[in-house]
């Protein structure tokens, strides 16, 4: 893990608790050392100094141990250790006032309440009681001290459990606050992202917002009710083999939500009869799914999954269903926009397409001329004796010949090139960057047309577009070259390279 990620990670509560305990032992050690400073017999001073050294060693040990590798319950061992040190203090001091004992035990109980689960202090109450009675055993007055010990034990236990209760409530409040913040952030991001008019972007954004709610994975399945199928179209966090899977609509949670048309919560997915095999062993046991409606019809299902169960409270359910509702509206708007854009594209394409040949029409030719680049080859093609075909065999035969030439040009031009009908029996071909081989392109078209054994031949004139020249000027030069082919006997190609014209 990178240093940046480590720096941004949340502190380990086990490490924090151990640090607090180490600090308490260090303070106890300092108090023991200070206690040995006043004038007192050497043996007593040495005992206090030894106790201070022991506390310091325990503090250092607690600070250095790898608590992050152990479960949180390992910290319970600090309680008997701290009580043992308190007993040593009482033994070294040959008895401590009840107030001092209470202070020692209270600090230990407060630490336990802050650092350990609820009821830990209560479970340790016998240890607190025993720690108060042990110093009295050598003196034989433990019976007289029992009442005070019980009172102190009850008080410190009560304080420790109150602290633990407050900590739990604070943690719950913090978790609820973080959840509300996630919900608000997800909803705000959703409303911003739904402004797009592309359905794929809308659906990908919805899945991302579900992850922002705190789910480990999210997906959106698209339903094809007519075919009885559904497809996992947008997936985040799920196994790769789950992506783009197609399933029958009568199986899986998607089918269940589609039939019941309501939010469904699955708390043990692997054991659920509708579980998909690809997900059964993925580790996602907690699943939430809600329908996405488009104009009242369930058209998709939105999923959120977690590896660890977490109750779906009212706020989270409302946010999840709100995302699905917004997604349905946005998806409908996006699909309407895309359908309108497709109709507009088809209309525009129809306006630029010649109905007879299926190639571009005169308007398309104008667009090709406007888009010419220096080095492009422009070829003009004209069917020879086309009028004779019309006069002899009728216009239907002429139309068939034009359609045949249109089919031929569609097959003959490269993917980057373009062909269009200029008008009548004249056609235009643009060969991108084809200037150096324009004569070869023309020869290939002539040979290919002859191989079809058509009713009539064709003539070609070509020119290479020059920098600073208009498309219309290049067309005029190609037209002049076509005229030369006609005069030279037809069924041939004429042209001029850029070098010849320079």
* Residue 409 pLDDT class (50, 70, 90 cuts): very high
- The residues pairing with 293 across neighbouring beta strands, listed in sequence order, are 298
Q: 142-160: string of b/e by CB count within 10 Å (b at 16+)? A: eeebeeebeebbeebbebb
Tokens representing residue 468 in the block: 């600073």
- The residues pairing with 266 across neighbouring beta strands, listed in sequence order, are 287
501 vs 269, more confident: 269
* Residue 295 pLDDT class (50, 70, 90 cuts): confident
Q: Which CATH superfamily is domain 199-341 in?
A: GAF domain (3.30.450.40)
Is the pLDDT reported for residue 4 higher than 60?
Answer: no
Q: How many CB atoms lie within 10 A of CB 408?
A: 19
With beta carbons less than 8 A apart as the criterion, state whether 366 and 413 touch.
Answer: no
473 vs 214, more confident: 473
Which of 458, 476, 456, 457 shows the shortest CA–CA distance to 466? 476
Q: Which of 36-45, 227-236, 361-370, 461-470 has the lowest mean pLDDT?
A: 36-45
Is the pLDDT reported for residue 442 higher than 90?
Answer: yes
pLDDT for 363: 87
pLDDT for 146: 83
C-alpha span between 15 and 117 (Å, rounded): 15
- Going 100 to 101 to 106 to 107, the CA torsion angle's sign is positive
Question: How confident is the model over 133-141, as a mean pLDDT?
Answer: 78
Predicted confidence (pLDDT) per residue in 309-368, tens digit? 777 767 778 778 877 877 777 677 766 656 666 666 665 666 678 889 989 899 889 989
With beta carbons less than 8 A apart as the criterion, state whether 181 and 152 touch.
Answer: no
With beta carbons less than 8 A apart as the criterion, state whether 231 and 245 touch.
Answer: yes
pTM of the model: 0.44
- Domains of the chain, residue spans: 10-170, 199-341, 362-501
Tokens representing residue 112 in the block: 């336990």
Which of 121, 118, 30, 34 shows the shortest CA–CA distance to 83? 121
- The residues pairing with 429 across neighbouring beta strands, listed in sequence order, are 379, 419
Percent of the chain with pLDDT over 90: 26
Is the pLDDT reported for residue 127 higher than 60?
Answer: yes
Predicted confidence (pLDDT) per residue in 34-79, tens digit? 877 765 566 777 888 888 899 899 999 999 999 888 888 889 999 9
Q: Of the spans 128-137, 213-222, 467-476, which averages the highest pLDDT?
A: 467-476
Is the pLDDT reported for residue 434 higher than 90?
Answer: no
pLDDT for 498: 40
CATH for the stretch 362-501? 3.30.70.270
Is the pLDDT reported for residue 184 higher than 70?
Answer: no
- Please give the radius of gyration of the chain, using alpha carbons only, rounded to the nearest integer: 43
Predicted confidence (pLDDT) per residue in 97-107, tens digit? 777 778 888 89
**Percentage helix, strand, coil for the chain under 3-state DSSP, each rounded to 5:** 60, 15, 25
pLDDT for 6: 36
Task: Considering only the C-alpha atoms of the chain, give the largest distance between any 2 of them, rounded to a whole number of Å.
Answer: 140
Looking at every residue in the chain, the average pLDDT score rounds to 82
Is the pLDDT reported for residue 427 higher than 70?
Answer: yes
Predicted confidence (pLDDT) per residue in 155-165, tens digit? 989 988 998 88
C-alpha span between 54 and 284 (Å, rounded): 49
Tokens 């006032």 sit at which residue? 97
Question: How confident is the model over 216-242, as a mean pLDDT?
Answer: 83
C-alpha span between 123 and 109 (Å, rounded): 11
């Amino acid at each position: 893990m990178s240093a940046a990620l480590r720096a941004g990670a949340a502190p380990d509560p086990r490490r924090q608790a151990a640090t607090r305990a180490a600090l308490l032992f260090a303070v106890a050690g300092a108090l023991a050392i200070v206690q040995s400073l006043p004038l007192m017999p050497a043996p007593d001073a040495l005992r206090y100094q030894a106790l201070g050294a022991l506390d310091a060693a325990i503090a250092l040990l607690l600070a250095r141990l790898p608590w992050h590798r152990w479960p949180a319950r390992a910290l319970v061992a600090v309680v008997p250790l701290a009580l043992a040190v308190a007993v040593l203090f009482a033994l070294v001091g040959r008895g401590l006032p009840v107030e001092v004992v209470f202070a020692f035990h209270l600090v230990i109980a407060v630490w336990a309440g802050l650092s350990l689960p609820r009821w830990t202090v209560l479970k340790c109450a016998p240890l607190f009681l025993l720690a108060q009675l042990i110093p009295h055993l050598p003196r034989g007055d433990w019976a007289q001290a029992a009442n005070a010990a019980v009172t102190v034990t009850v008080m410190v236990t009560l304080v420790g459990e109150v602290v633990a209760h407050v900590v739990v409530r604070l943690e719950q409040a913090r978790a609820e606050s973080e959840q509300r913040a996630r919900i608000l952030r997800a909803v705000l991001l959703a409303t911003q992202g739904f402004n797009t008019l592309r359905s794929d972007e809308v659906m990908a954004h919805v899945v991302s917002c579900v992850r922002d709610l705190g789910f480990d994975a999210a997906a959106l399945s698209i339903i094809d009710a007519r075919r009885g199928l559904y497809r996992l179209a947008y997936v985040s966090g799920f196994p790769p083999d789950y992506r783009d899977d197609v399933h029958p609509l009568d199986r899986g949670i998607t089918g269940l939500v589609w039939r019941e048309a309501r939010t469904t919560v699955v708390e043990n997915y692997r054991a659920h009869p509708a579980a998909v095999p690809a997900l059964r062993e993925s580790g996602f046991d907690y699943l939430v799914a809600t329908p996405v409606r488009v104009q009242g019809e369930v058209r998709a299902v939105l999923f959120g999954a977690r590896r660890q169960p977490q109750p779906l409270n009212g706020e989270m359910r409302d946010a999840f269903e709100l995302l699905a509702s917004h997604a349905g509206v946005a998806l409908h708007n996006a699909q309407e926009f895309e359908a309108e854009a497709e109709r507009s594209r088809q209309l525009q394409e129809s306006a630029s397409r010649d109905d007879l040949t299926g190639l571009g029409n005169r308007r398309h030719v104008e667009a090709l001329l406007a888009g010419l680049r220096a080095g492009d080859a422009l070829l003009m093609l004209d069917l020879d004796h086309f009028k004779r075909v019309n006069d002899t065999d009728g216009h239907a035969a002429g139309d068939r010949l034009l359609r045949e030439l249109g089919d031929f040009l569609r097959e003959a031009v490269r993917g980057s090139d373009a062909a269009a009908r200029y008008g009548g029996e004249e056609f235009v071909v643009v060969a991108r960057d084809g200037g150096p081989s324009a004569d070869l392109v023309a020869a290939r078209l002539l040979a290919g047309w002859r191989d079809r054994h058509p009713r009539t031949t064709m003539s070609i004139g070509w020119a290479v577009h020059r920098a600073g020249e208009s498309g219309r000027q290049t067309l005029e030069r190609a037209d002049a070259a076509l005229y030369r082919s006609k005069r030279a006997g037809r069924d041939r190609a004429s042209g001029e390279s850029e070098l010849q014209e320079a």
